[in-house]
Amino acid sequence: MSRRVLVLAVLTGAALLMTAPVSGAAQATGISSADAVAAHSAAAGFEDVLVGFFAQAPGARKPVSARIAPDAYPVYELSPDFVAGQPGAAPGEFAYFAIPARASDGRTATLWSVRGADGGWQVGNIASGDVEGEYARQLPAGAQLLHEPQVDVWYAVRDGHVTALSENKAVTLVDYQRTVSQRYGDKLPGSDYARDGEAGGYDATSQVMPRGDGGPAPTGHDTGWLPLLILVGVLAVSGAGYVLHLRRHPA
């Protein structure tokens, strides 16, 4: 089981505007530095939600405060067009901006800021840990942070090469496409694997299924590339499991 589990979704009213500096270059066509600032602004005022998030985690011993970092890291998920070998397809498609947060006792979490149906930005999930930030801070200049779902590996994409950040091993885009075609060619939209809603595959809307419960995003919501709401997240720590129900709050 991945150490990152999707455990809480929060959608509140209009986010307060802020001008905190934002780190992590926005790399995708249609994603700009202004988007990064707006995505980070959507996280303003979520400290109280984070305090509740940390308080519900196993091992919480005392009340904590929470601080949202000034960074917003663009994260890309493996593109089904790239897996299928479509000419000119990039290996990743933009998924969300990862915004790190830290509790006063040192624990970390990540807010996922996603584009909504109206084109604005909103917080769609809180995940434990700072995995995206840890890898984003390793990226060479101009590289994209790419996540491959089923093997849960993070890559730097730059200059026609894909480098696994955990082992600093690079392959060409051509070789990487061959590899992911073998891994996911039977998991693309429309496949039996995808229709069954298996984690690590793609669902009918071509979004990568989450690493949590593996269930599809609920209907009736704009999901983009990652579900804005995850019905159930299961977190196992030291052999103890618990389930947190995620809720969408009306604006």
- DSSP states of 41-86 as a string? HTTTT-HHHHHHHHHHSTT--S---EEE-S--EEEEEE-HHHHTT-
Among the ranges given (20-34, 195-209, 228-242), the one the predictor scored with the smallest mean pLDDT: 228-242
Percent of the chain with pLDDT strictly greater than 90: 54
> What are the sequence ranges of the domains in the chain?
6-245
Cβ–Cβ < 8 Å for 119, 113: no
Query: In Å, what is the CA distance from 192 to each residue of 104, 188, 195, 198, 217?
Result: 46, 9, 5, 9, 17
Segment 225-246 mean pLDDT: 30
Residues in the chain: 251
166-200 pLDDT tens trace: 998 999 999 999 999 999 988 787 665 655 555 44
Q: Bridge-partner residues for 77, per DSSP?
A: 93, 147
Distance between CA 118 and CA 43 in Å, rounded?
Answer: 17
Cβ–Cβ < 8 Å for 202, 208: yes
Distance between CA 11 and CA 18 in Å, rounded?
Answer: 18
| DSSP code of residue 131 | H
| DSSP code of residue 202 | B
Cβ–Cβ < 8 Å for 107, 116: no
> Of residues 215 and 90, which shows the higher confidence score?
90
Cβ–Cβ < 8 Å for 125, 228: yes
31-62 pLDDT tens trace: 899 999 999 999 999 999 999 999 987 777 77
Percent of the chain with pLDDT strictly greater than 70: 63
